[in-house]
């Protein structure tokens, strides 16, 4: 039996038809919908997704990547609550993962994952609230369930089309099947991008209704574009396109997101507090650790951009030390000279910063300034006699005498 070519063409047209109304355009960012109380999953599909998420959360709760510092967790949770409201916030269980990636996610059962790479890159409570509100928007609109159903429908369609095309055996049927595949996959990716736009606008709606400055949402994506461009430049790659949509892109282009988030931020909120000082204070304990993790990614341009961005409010000893570590890790002769200068700036601001003394000493030794390097390493050992690498540094120090 041969499948009529028209039937396959009809399936392709059906797959190409949008199944979801995209939030966006020029309409104002919507206000938060009325809170409907504690939500429980409905239907076999959603109950199944929640059970899988529950199992994932059990594993996550015991993961060594989870940062269990109570003060840090309480602070990030408070930012989320200030963005989406205390009632909604109760539905969320938050986990901070020590992962140097700019990302956050939320599972169908209310599990929110926040990566330390995100915390490092945010410069204010408003910027963090924009990202966390976006993730909560996915949860509130049940996007995981919608995407699951859309993916299943697409795969079912392709399974039937595969069988019928094989039965047909004609070139025209195969050609129509190829078109159907492109339509299905393209439709699914477009569907994901529409979900992201909707979550962007819902997150901005939370921010518009909060006490924080909503214009910060657009700045998040401007910073992301700056980092991506710096990373590409340092690698000698072509400048990224921020206004183009790849066929397989699951998110809208960064330039598009920055534009519509900027346009739809409430003008009345432009003068609100963005919580930058509070955020800097809360992250001060963690910044050095998060920067260490970032530098170990071996992405010089991105790390240098992040450090420079964090220095917008003024260079501190930990930031100079981090920049010294970054340049010393790359290790070009000119980098070692620059690293020595950066470490010198750090110890000038804080002579008690042991890690800066260590880095300064190693950089000076590498550039032939042995006496100065020995003195810096001696100060490091005096400040941290029980440091894990004290024996190694002491051996190096004695070996240089």
Q: Which residues pair with 106 in a beta bridge?
A: 112
CA 158, 160, 161: angle at the middle one, nearest 5?
Answer: 60
- Which pLDDT score is estimated for 18? 39
Higher pLDDT, 195 or 77: 77
- Which pLDDT score is estimated for 53? 82
* Torsion angle (degrees, nearest 10) of CA 97, 100, 103, 107: -20
In this model, does residue 67 exceed pLDDT 60?
A: yes
- Which pLDDT score is estimated for 189? 56
- Which pLDDT score is estimated for 4? 41
- Which pLDDT score is estimated for 138? 86
**Secondary structure element (H or E) that encloses residue 76, with its range:** helix 70-84
**Secondary structure element (H or E) that encloses residue 94, with its range:** strand 93-97
Whole-model pTM?
Answer: 0.83
- Which pLDDT score is estimated for 111? 93
Backbone angles phi, psi at 111, to 5 degrees: -85, 120
- Which pLDDT score is estimated for 183? 66
Q: Give the Cα separation of 37 and 200 in Å (integer).
A: 22
- Which pLDDT score is estimated for 15? 37
- Which pLDDT score is estimated for 143? 72
State the number of CA atoms in the 13 A half-sphere of 60 facing the CB: 20
In this model, does residue 153 exceed pLDDT 70?
A: no
Q: Give the Cα separation of 70 and 358 in Å (integer).
A: 31
In this model, does residue 228 exceed pLDDT 90?
A: yes
* Torsion angle (degrees, nearest 10) of CA 214, 219, 224, 230: -170
Least confident of 58-62, 322-326, 385-389: 385-389
Confidence band of 149 (pLDDT split at 50, 70, 90)? low
331, 353 Cβ separation under 8 angstroms: no
Structure tokens at 165: 């095309």
Confidence band of 367 (pLDDT split at 50, 70, 90)? very high
Taking residues 161-167, report their average pLDDT.
Answer: 67
Cβ-based neighbour number of residue 34 at 10 Å: 6
Confidence band of 163 (pLDDT split at 50, 70, 90)? low
Taking residues 6-34, report their average pLDDT.
Answer: 48
DSSP 8-state class, residue 102: S
Contacts of 17 (CB under 8 A, 6+ apart): 187
Q: Which of 10-14, 351-355, 378-382 has the highest mean pLDDT?
A: 351-355
In this model, does residue 81 exceed pLDDT 60?
A: yes
Dihedral (CA of 261, 262, 263, 266) sign: positive
- Which pLDDT score is estimated for 10? 41
In this model, does residue 12 exceed pLDDT 50?
A: no
Each residue of 292-350: pLDDT tens digit? 999 999 999 999 999 999 999 899 999 999 999 999 999 999 999 999 999 999 999 99
Indicate the SS3 state at residue 250: coil
- Which pLDDT score is estimated for 258? 95
Each residue of 175-194: pLDDT tens digit? 665 665 666 555 555 657 88
- Which pLDDT score is estimated for 200? 92
Polymer length in residues for the chain: 401
Q: Which domains does the chain have, with CATH numbers?
A: 5-267 (no CATH), 284-399 (1.25.40.10)
Pairing between β-strand 104-106 and β-strand 111-115 as defined by DSSP bridges: antiparallel
Taking residues 257-273, report their average pLDDT.
Answer: 93
With a pLDDT cut of 70, the percent of the chain lying above it is 80
The closest alpha carbon to 269, from 312, 309, 218, 225, belongs to: 218
Confidence band of 355 (pLDDT split at 50, 70, 90)? very high
Indicate the SS3 state at residue 114: strand
Judged on CB neighbours under 10 Å (0-12, 13-18, 19+), 74 is exposed
Least confident of 137-151, 167-181, 245-259, 384-398: 167-181
Backbone angles phi, psi at 304, to 5 degrees: -65, -40
Q: Give the Cα separation of 164 and 7 in Å (integer).
A: 10
Each residue of 194-224: pLDDT tens digit? 888 888 999 999 999 999 999 999 999 999 9
In this model, does residue 97 exceed pLDDT 90?
A: yes
Rounded mean pLDDT of the chain? 84
In this model, does residue 168 exceed pLDDT 80?
A: no
Q: Which of 119-128, 132-141, 181-190 has the highest mean pLDDT?
A: 119-128
């Amino acid at each position: 039996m041969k499948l009529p070519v028209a039937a396959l063409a009809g399936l392709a047209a059906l797959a190409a038809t949008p199944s979801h109304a995209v939030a966006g355009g020029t309409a104002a960012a919507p206000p938060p919908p009325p809170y409907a109380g504690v939500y429980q999953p409905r239907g076999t599909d959603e109950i199944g997704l929640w059970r899988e998420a529950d199992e994932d959360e059990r594993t996550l709760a015991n993961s060594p990547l989870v940062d269990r510092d109570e003060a840090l967790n309480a602070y990030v949770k408070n930012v989320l609550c200030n963005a989406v409201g205390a009632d909604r916030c109760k539905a969320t269980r938050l986990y901070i993962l020590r992962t140097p990636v700019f990302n956050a996610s939320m599972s169908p059962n209310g599990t929110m994952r926040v990566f330390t790479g995100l915390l490092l890159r945010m410069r204010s409570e408003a910027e963090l609230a924009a990202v966390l509100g976006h993730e909560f928007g996915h949860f509130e609109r049940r996007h995981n369930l919608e995407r699951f159903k859309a993916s299943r429908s697409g795969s079912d369609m392709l399974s039937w089309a595969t069988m019928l095309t094989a039965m047909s055996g004609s070139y025209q049927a195969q050609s129509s099947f190829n078109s159907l595949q492109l339509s299905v996959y393209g439709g699914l990716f477009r569907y994901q991008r529409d979900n992201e736009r909707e979550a962007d606008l819902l997150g901005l709606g939370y921010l518009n209704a909060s006490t924080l400055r909503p214009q910060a949402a657009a700045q998040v994506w401007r910073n992301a574009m700056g980092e991506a461009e710096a990373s590409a430049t340092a690698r000698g790659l072509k400048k990224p396109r921020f206004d183009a949509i790849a066929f397989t892109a699951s998110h809208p282009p960064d330039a598009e997101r920055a534009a519509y988030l900027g346009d739809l931020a409430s003008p009345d909120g432009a003068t609100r507090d963005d919580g930058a000082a509070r955020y800097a204070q809360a992250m001060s304990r963690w910044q050095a650790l998060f920067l260490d993790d970032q530098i170990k990614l071996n992405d010089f341009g991105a790390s240098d951009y992040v450090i420079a961005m964090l220095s917008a409010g003024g260079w501190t000893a930990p930031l100079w030390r981090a920049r010294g570590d970054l340049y010393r890790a790359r290790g070009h002769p000119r980098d070692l000279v620059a690293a020595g200068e950066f470490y010198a700036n750090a110890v000038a601001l804080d002579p008690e910063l042991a890690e800066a003394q260590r880095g300064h000493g190693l950089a000076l030794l590498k550039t032939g300034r042995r006496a100065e390097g020995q003195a810096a390493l001696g100060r490091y050992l005096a400040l941290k006699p029980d440091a894990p690498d004290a024996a190694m540094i002491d051996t190096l120090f004695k070996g240089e005498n």
